[in-house]
Amino acid sequence: MIFGRADLVFLHAPSVYDFRKHSILYGPVSDLVPSTPVFEMYPIGFTTMAEYLERHGLRVRILNLAVRMLTDDEFDPEPLIAALNPAAFGIDLHWLPHAHGALAIAEMVKRHHPHTPVIFGGFSSTYYHEELIRYPYVDYVVRGDSAEEPLRQLMSHLTGMRGAPALKDIPNLTWRDREGEAHTNPLTYRPDNLDHVMLDYRYVVRAAARDLDLGSYVPFKDWMDYPIMAALSCRGCTQSCVICGGSAAAFKEMHGRTRPAFRRPEMLAADVRRSADMSRGPVFVLGDLRQAGPNYALRFFNSVRGFKGPVILELFSPASREFLQQAADALSNFTLEVSLESHDPVVRHAFGKPYGNEPMERTIADALDVGARRLDVFFMSGLPQQTAESVMGTIDYCEDLLRRFGQDGRLAPFISPLAPFLDPGSRAFENPDEHGYRLFAHTLEEHRRRLVAPSWKYVLNYETRWMTRDQLVDVTYAAGRRLNQVKAQYGLVAAAQAQITEQRIDRAVALMAEIDRLMVQTTPAEFSLEMARLKEEVDQVNMSTVCEKRELEVGVSGPKLRYSQVAQMLIQDTLHAMGRRLLSPWRRLQPVYVSQDS
């Protein structure tokens, strides 16, 4: 139900539309993020753009179609889309794994609303803007990592606001004119800091209450159970990991950015504190705080000092004891996330992280010593210079780390494959030979088609000089199985849970083999029938594969959402709005009195 017409409706599509009908073994592609393989999480930017546009007098609604489809088998997006009547629709194609779903939703929107503009945005839209604008159901692409202001200008144009710019004058815009000719405006809007946006979850709750539609605003399926919030320290990155489409090199090429845009540390601290008004869940501070120099982290810690809730910080490289002590002094409940990628410094070097094991081991020891509540260490398969043997060597190293630092259960290692795609815009995607990658897909359309392949082996857009995709798939499951056993041994996973995970891995491996067999031994018609028969089983192994998603959760005690504070905020809003309405006749007179007095 929607009260009042929205000027802009943001739609977040599932990775594949309609995943409920397709039988696809997605594999462990999303084990280490809060989302399921449907990638139901919408970009943080939906919130910042919506808040920014509303601040400028436009009405915005967010519809997370992916979550609605995941949580309700009966939910059909089509009648809902048909019933909407905004001035424009905005669809994110931020993550490339949404290529199928985002385009399918755009096509559906255009079918029902042929005259309503469809706007795309996000990293993948930026990368593929020229290809995207050729789809008949895409009218505009807002490029870049900071779309708030260009989108405001576009919406003011589309809603006929006074003083709105002409299309050709809107920065970062790719558009088609009436004759169908595509235009690419220069990418000139690139704010050098992040202080103009508000990442405020209270906005989401208020908007959900206003539209009486909490289900459409929920960021990911299990968010109500685990209301993790994000605080964004920057847009961009100082590192240049070769497989990353958000690296310094990728930002330079795609967004013309030579340094990240940082949020003022005091504002970041306020963002963290504000999150606690709503939830007891952890606040994940995105981006290594040391990127903007030591003074930045110190200012943040000084501002946030005394905050009692769980906070997750990330480290891109080894940290000094002094930094870790500052974190511990300011935050009584902090978790650290570090990505070592591999136990082998040669692989890590080829990945773009030129440090050895010793400095990171020292960091781990120091972090635990100063009182980190927990320390998650991430590794990956599918990297340059990495063989299958090397991946298994990484698991030996995990065991070694646990033996040395993991006796009290605070250290938790994880491994996942680089999947489903090597990021477009990353150094490895742009120069595959140089980094030892062989690409199976280049264009947006090629990626869109791969997403409906029957298993993640065929969705993968790459293999490496050191591992074919068969080897990559096999070793990912083997490593997952071994790490699961090691974790059970160290008490990180309960024995019963470890057994369930092991059985799920075994089932996934057997299903992968079965799908491979069907692909060579059946006709296309038989294949479809067989895959339909396997669907239920495939769906069961799709939800967490090589580890249980819950292993990533930091402990939260008591009710996770602060319902009384949320209710209080909403009551205050309502009283405020009523007061405004009651006062409005007086307000209209007020300027007269003011001018007479002065």
For position 239 contacting ligand SF4 by CB under 6 A, the verdict is: yes
Q: Which does 41 bind (CB under 5 to 8 A by kind): ligand B12, ligand SF4, none?
A: ligand B12
Residue 120 or 462: which CB sits closer to ligand B12? 120
- Token code pair at residue 548: 């249980």
Separation of alpha carbons 118 and 140, rounded Å: 6
Q: Considering only 143-151, 292-300, 317-325, 449-457, which stretch makes contact with ligand B12 by CB under 6 A?
A: 143-151
Please report whether residue 548 would count as binding ligand B12 according to CB under 6 A: no
At 501 the three-state DSSP class reads: helix
Site string for ligand B12, 20-49 (x = CB under 6 A): ---------xx--xxx---xxx-xxx--xx
Q: Are 67 and 215 in contact (CB under 8 A)?
A: yes
| Region from 72-80, 84-92, 455-463, 487-495 binding ligand B12, contact rule CB under 6 A | 84-92
23/35 with CB nearer ligand B12: 35
Q: Which residues contact 408 (CB under 8 A, 6 or more apart)?
A: 368
Nearer to ligand B12, 41 or 207 (CB): 41
* Residue 424, binding choice from ligand B12, ligand SF4, none, Cβ under 5 to 8 Å by partner class: ligand B12
241 binds, among ligand B12, ligand SF4, none (CB under 5 to 8 A by kind): ligand SF4
Closest CA to 271 of 258, 248, 287: 287
For residues 424 and 70, is the Cβ–Cβ distance under 8 A?
Answer: no
Q: What does 316 bind: ligand B12, ligand SF4, none (CB cut-off 5 to 8 Å by kind)?
A: ligand SF4
* Dist. CA 206–CA 570, nearest whole Å: 7
User: Which stretch in 70-78, 237-245, 442-450, 533-541 sits in contact with ligand B12 by CB under 6 A?
Assistant: 237-245
Interacting residues with ligand B12 between 149 and 168 (CB under 6 A): 151
Q: Hey, what amino acid is at 187? A: L
Distance of CA 481 to the CA centre of its chain: 26
Question: Among all chains, which residue has been given the structure tokens 């083997």?
Answer: 478
Question: CA angle, 177 as apex, 176 and 180 as ends, to 5°?
Answer: 70
Given phi > 0 = left and psi -120 to 50 = alpha, else beta, which region is 300?
Answer: alpha
For residue 197, the minimal CB distance to ligand SF4 (Å) is 19
| Per-residue interface string for the shown chain with ligand SF4, residues 281-320, x marking contact by CB under 6 A | -----------------------------------x----
246 scored as a contact of ligand SF4 (CB under 6 A): yes
Rounded to a whole number of angstroms, the minimum distance from the CB of residue 97 to ligand B12 is 5
CA–CA gap between residue 444 and residue 400 (Å, rounded): 42
Q: Where are the alpha helices (DSSP H) in 343-387?
A: 345-351, 357-370
Q: Is 538 in the site for ligand B12 (CB under 6 A)?
A: no
118 binds, among ligand SF4, ligand B12, none (CB under 5 to 8 A by kind): none
The nearest distance, CB 29 to ligand SF4, in angstroms, is 16
Q: How far apart are CA 62 and CA 204, in angstroms?
A: 9
Q: Is 102 in the site for ligand B12 (CB under 6 A)?
A: no
**Would you tell me the crossing angle of helices 294-304 and 321-330 to the nearest 10 degrees?**
20
**How many residues sit close enough to ligand B12 to count as binding (CB under 6 A)?**
42
Smallest distance from ligand B12 to CB 251, Å:
7
Estimate the crossing angle of helix 201-210 against helix 563-597, to 10 degrees.
90
Q: Which residues of 191-207 are buried (b: 16+ CB within 10 A; e: fewer)?
A: beebeebbbbbbbbbbb
119 binds ligand B12 (CB under 6 A): yes
Smallest distance, ligand SF4 to C-beta of residue 351, A: 8
State the nearest-atom distance from the C-beta of 524 to ligand B12, in Å: 29
Angstrom distance (rounded) from CA 285 to CA 95: 20
* Closest to 347 (Cα-Cα) out of 478, 474, 239, 242: 242
Beta strands 411-417 and 374-381 are parallel
CB of 426 to ligand SF4, least distance (A): 8
Q: At what angle do helices 469-489 and 388-405 cross, to 10 degrees?
A: 20
Q: Please identify, using beta-carbon distances, which residue of 40 and 548 lies nearer to ligand B12.
A: 40
User: Of 99, 207, 208, 237, which lies in the binding site for ligand SF4, with binding defined by CB under 6 A?
Assistant: 237
Q: How far is the CB of 118 from ligand SF4 (least distance, A)?
A: 29
Cβ atoms of residues 384 and 205 within 8 Å: no
Q: What is the Cα–Cα distance from 145 to 154, expressed in whole angstroms?
A: 16
Q: Which positions ≥6 away from 192 have C-beta within 8 Å? A: 259, 261
Least Å distance between CB 172 and ligand B12?
9
Task: Supply 227's token pair.
Answer: 């209301």
DSSP state of 193: B
Q: Which stretch binds ligand SF4 (CB under 6 A): 45-53, 124-132, 234-242, 514-522?
A: 234-242
Q: Does 97 bind ligand SF4 (CB under 6 A)?
A: no
Size of the residue set binding ligand SF4 (CB under 6 A): 7
Question: Which CB atom, from 150 or from 236, has the smaller least distance to ligand SF4?
Answer: 236
Q: List contacts with ligand B12 (CB under 6 A).
A: 29-30, 33-35, 39-41, 43-45, 48-49, 90-92, 94-97, 119-124, 142, 145-148, 151, 230, 232, 235, 237, 244-246, 286, 423-424
Q: List contacts with ligand SF4 (CB under 6 A).
A: 237, 239, 241, 244, 246-247, 316
